[in-house]
Amino acid sequence: MNNNDKNVRHNMIKRVEAKDDGRVLIYYTFESSDDIEHKESLRKETDKGAQPKGLGD
C-alpha cells in the first residue's frame, strides 16, 4: 500500500442539527485539495475582475 496522498489537504464542512428528542446530530463532509484549488482559482479570477470559467454562461 502506497502513502502517496500524504500532502492532500481536507477542508472540513460541519453541519450541526438537533434530533426531535434534542440529541445532537452532526454531518461531516469534506473538500479535498482539488476542490479547494479549483475554488481558489475561481476566487482569484473573480478578484481580478475576470469572469470565472463556468459561471454566467
Partner 1 sequence: MSEMRWNPVMGEWVVTATHRQDRTFLPPAGYCPLCPTAEGGFPTEIPEPDYDFVVFENKFPSLKREPGEPAVEGDDLFPVKPSLGICEVVLYSSSHTSTLADVPLPKMQQLVRVWKDRYEDLGSRPEIDYVFIFENKGEAIGVTISHPHGQIYAFSYLPPRVERELTNEAEHHRKTGRCLHCDILKREVADQSRIVVESDHFMAIIPFYARYPYEVHLYAKEHRGSMSEFSEEEQNDLAYVLSVLLKKYDGLWGFSMPYMMVMHQKPTDGADWPGCHFHIEFYPPLRTPEKLKYLAGCESGAGTFVNDTLPEDKAAELRAVKV
Residues 1-30 that bind partner 1 (CB under 8 A): 1, 3, 5-10, 12, 14, 19, 23-30
- Residues 5, 9: Cα–Cα separation, whole Å: 9
Q: From the CB of 31, what's the least distance to partner 1, in Å?
A: 10
Burial 19-51 (b: 16+ CB within 10 A, else e): eeeeeeeeeeeeeeeeeeeeeeeeeeeeeeeee
Q: Which is nearer to partner 1, 4 or 47 (CB)?
A: 4
32 part of the interface to partner 1, by CB under 8 A: yes
50 part of the interface to partner 1, by CB under 8 A: no
